[in-house]
Every structure is written in structure tokens, then in C-alpha cells.
Amino acid sequence: MHDIRKIRETPEAFDAGLKRRGAEALSARLLALDAERRALETRAQEIQAERNAAAKEIGARKSKGEDAEDLIEQVSKSKDAQAAAEAEAKAKGDELNTLLATIPNIPDADVPDGKDEHDNIEVRKWGVPAAFDFTPKDHVELGEALGQMDFERAAKMSGARFVLLTGQLARLERALAAFMLDVHTLENGYTEVNPPALVKDTALFGTGQLPKFADDLFHTVDDYWLIPTAEVPLTNIAADETVAESALPARFTAKTWCFRSEAGSAGKDTRGMIRQHQFTKVEMVSMVKPEESDAELERMTECAEGILQRLDLPYRTVALCTGDMGFGAAKTYDIEVWLPGQNTYREISSCSNCRDFQARRMNARFKRADGKKPEFVHTLNGSGLAVGRCLVAVLENYQNADGSITIPKALLPYMAGQEVIRPDA
């Protein structure tokens, strides 16, 4: 959500930012609504002030036992005019807010301009894809041959885009998530959270999924929404709160299921575990002071990359261009892991600085020690990592010629002594 006062002050910069994202200039329309709203509000307040004064006078007269009928009659007349002005002001305000709520965040100055993912810029690359002396299989072939990854049975009960992991693969997924959580909590300073997976619409408005992207979400009949990412419950921890400066930075991590309708993705990544309606993800969220959010984005991205480094999975980090960034982000790094089965890098993490965009929507503030007015915090979120896709990466990168999977060293403590995953006996 944007600050209308800031738009008032620098409308050109606002429109220029929208243009970089491929959106039309809106400041003129916003400022017209804003001016109308304020004029109507002032008029309503003037009428109200007169009525309040009259009501006081009536009270004063009555307490002295005097007659006040003339005033009562006079004041009654202004009632409709006031109600009308108030209603109009509210209508304009609603219109303004409705429009504001659908406007994406403005990209940072250093975000590369571009139309789509082809214009993203690689900022670094880590690791060297292994050379196989056989043709590497993709995770579907590997998992099904192991007899521990079953798309057909999942489809029987749930339809497309679900999977049933069993045995050692189910354990491997659990191991990955536990490993990530341990690193983030024990080494990276994040507090582990086990949050609700069903939330109200206000929470989704706060992080920016609503009102624009309802189609991407699952909605229950009794009006809950399934979270598409733990970013939603973790960031909303700060909603409607004003914390002390000393409480920042606040860092939270959670392993949750994420539920996405994938409404606009029909036909895309239909094979395998890459794009599912339900997947496990370990998420990181930070609330920081405005002057700290640039550094925090770098830090968070390093925390995510650290997981891949310790799993010895090759990856590259890209800076998203203006056209590929999410609604609430001012700057985003995607981390893409190497998948030998697809012979390409695929997104496994996305780390974003939302600045005060979400904080303003959910009213998340902090107060500096010097006692000045509360300010909005800056919020950041990043996957650390997408567990399902990480499982895919482990299978494809650690596969052996016979179809068995070597367990990455970092996961051995989580695998009950098992070093290699083989087909079920």
C-alpha cells in the first residue's frame, strides 16, 4: 500500500516507478480522488462542528431550565446535509483505497528494468554441476523406480498436482525441513514458529495476496483461506502492533504446507513435483528498521544460499527485473538450483524486500528509543528453502547409475543412519 501523502509530494516519481513495472500512470487519478475526499471531509466536519456547538448550547440552556426549542429545530435541519457530505467523503475515500490496494510496490532504483524472467540478471553462481557418466534421470523417474513417489494414488484421492511420498523419500523430505530449520534457528538467528495455516482475509490483504490474487488461493466454505506461503502468518505477527526499536530486527522461520490453486498455470510443469497444489516450504521473515532492510535482504539471501551450499547443490542467484517481481516486492533475488534431470536451473527460493509496503497494509510499526512517532517497519520474506523442490534437487543431483540416491552429508544426522536410498525391498 502506498502513502497517498508521498504520492501528493512526488507524483512524477510514483508514476515513473509504475511505468518501470509496466503499469500505467495513476497519480493524477489518485490525487483527484484524494482532493475530492478531503474537500468533502472538511465540509462534513464544518457542519458537524456547528451541530456540536448547538448541542452544547442546548445542554447548557436545559441545565439552567431555559427553553431550547428554537435551537433544536435549527440543528435538526442540518442533519441530512451532514450525513450526505459524510457519505460522499466515505465513498471517495473507499474508491481511493480500493484503487491504492491494487497498485504494486515501486521497484528499488537498482532493480534491472525488464519485461519477464528473460531480463533477470544473474548476480552469482555457486558450485559446478556434476558430470554424470550416465544419462541422469529426472526425479519422477527416480522416485517412481524407488517405489516411494506415487502420483497416481495421489491423483486418486486428490486429483492432479499432488504426490504421495512414502518410506525413505518421506523421511528425506522431513530431514530436509528439519535441517533447514536447525540451521536457521541455531545459526542464523531466526525464531521458529508453528503458525496457523488457515487465515482470515485481512491477513492476506496485509501481505498483498488480496484483493488482487484471490484466484491463486484456496478458500474454504466458512471463509478461511489456506496460506500460499508462511510469509502470510509470519509477517502478520507484526500486524497492528507497535514494537520497541530494541525488538528489531525480528526474525522468524517456519516450516508449513503451502497451498496454491495454480489457476494460471494450466499445462505448465504438469509432470512431477515442481508445481503442486500443496508443498512444504521453510520460510524466513524479517521485520527491520527502514535503514537496515537493504542489508537484511543480502543477509537473508545468504541464509538461503547457505542451505544449498551445505547440501552441495549447485545454484545461481538472479536479481529479478521489474517485470518479474511480485506484487509487494521492491527488490527480489531468486535462487535457482541445478536440476540435471531437466538440464537447467529452477527456482528454489525467492527473497524479497517489501520495504514498508506490507507494513502499511497491516499497520506494523515500531517506536524508536528517542520516543518519536511510530514508523512502519520494513518487512522481508524469503524461502529457505522450498522443501519439495529441494527434494527434487537432491534426487537428481545425488542419483547413482543404479537409480539409488546417496544422502547428502549434511542430512545424515537426520536419516537414522541411512546413507543411500534404494528401492523398497
Partner RNA sequence: GGUGGGUUGGCAGAGUGGUUGAAUGCACCGGUCUUGAAAACCGGCAUGCGUGAAAGCGUAUCCAGGGUUCGAAUCCCUGACCCACCGCCA
Considering the candidates 275, 310, 368, 422, report the single residue annotated as catalytic: 275
Shortest CB 303 distance to RNA, Å? 32
Shortest CB 43 distance to RNA, Å? 9
Considering the candidates 241, 262, 347, 375, report the single residue annotated as catalytic: 347
Residues in the chain: 425
Shortest CB 17 distance to RNA, Å? 22
DSSP letters of 123-178? EEEES-PPPPSS-PPPHHHHHHHHT-EEHHHHHHHH-SS--EE-HHHHHHHHHHHH
Considering the candidates 21, 161, 171, 260, report the single residue annotated as catalytic: 260
> Phi and psi dihedrals of 284, rounded to 5?
-120, 140
DSSP letters of 44-90? HHHHHHHHHHHHHHHHHHHHTT---HHHHHHHHHTHHHHHHHHHHHH
Among 171, 129, 180, which Cα is nearest to 146's?
171
Please name the residues in contact with 83: beta carbons below 8 A apart, sequence gap of 6 or more: none
**Distance (Å, whole) CA 264 – CA 137:** 28
Active site residue 251: no
Output the CA torsion 161→165→169→170 (10° steps). Answer: 110
Among 123, 53, 343, 354, which Cα is nearest to 232's?
354
Shortest CB 61 distance to RNA, Å? 8
- Considering only 51, 174, 219, 277, the residue that binds RNA (CB under 7 A) is 51
- Considering only 13, 28, 49, 99, the residue that binds RNA (CB under 7 A) is 49
Instruction: Answer yes or no: are the C-beta atoms of 204 and 226 closer than 8 Å.
Output: no
Considering the candidates 350, 352, 360, 396, report the single residue annotated as catalytic: 350
Helices (H) and strands (E) in the chain, counts: 13, 17
DSSP secondary-structure letter at 117?
G
Judged by CB under 7 A, the chain residues 5 through 34 that form the site for RNA are 5
* Contact stretch for RNA (CB under 7 A) within 35-43, 138-146, 339-347, 399-407: 35-43
Nearer to RNA, 240 or 298 (CB): 240
Judged by CB under 7 A, the chain residues 66 through 125 that form the site for RNA are 72, 75-76, 79
- Considering only 6, 62, 124, 409, the residue that binds RNA (CB under 7 A) is 62
Shortest CB 83 distance to RNA, Å? 8
Shortest CB 329 distance to RNA, Å? 25
Instruction: Answer yes or no: are the C-beta atoms of 335 and 347 closer than 8 Å.
Output: yes
Active site residue 260: yes
**Distance (Å, whole) CA 360 – CA 339:** 39
Nearer to RNA, 41 or 88 (CB): 41
Q: Does 374 bind RNA (CB under 7 A)?
A: yes
Active site residue 389: yes
Q: Does 41 bind RNA (CB under 7 A)?
A: yes
- Considering only 25, 45, 127, 243, the residue that binds RNA (CB under 7 A) is 45
- Considering only 13, 60, 244, 263, the residue that binds RNA (CB under 7 A) is 60
Judged by CB under 7 A, the chain residues 281 through 320 that form the site for RNA are none
Active site residue 275: yes
**Distance (Å, whole) CA 299 – CA 303:** 6
> Phi and psi dihedrals of 386, rounded to 5?
-70, 115
348, 350, 388 from 193: Cα distances, Å: 21, 20, 20
* Residues touching RNA, count (CB under 7 A): 25
Q: Does 420 bind RNA (CB under 7 A)?
A: no
Active site residue 171: no
Active site positions, annotated: 260, 275, 347, 350, 389
Binding site for RNA (CB under 7 A): 5, 38, 41-42, 45-46, 48-49, 51-56, 58-60, 62-63, 72, 75-76, 79, 373-374
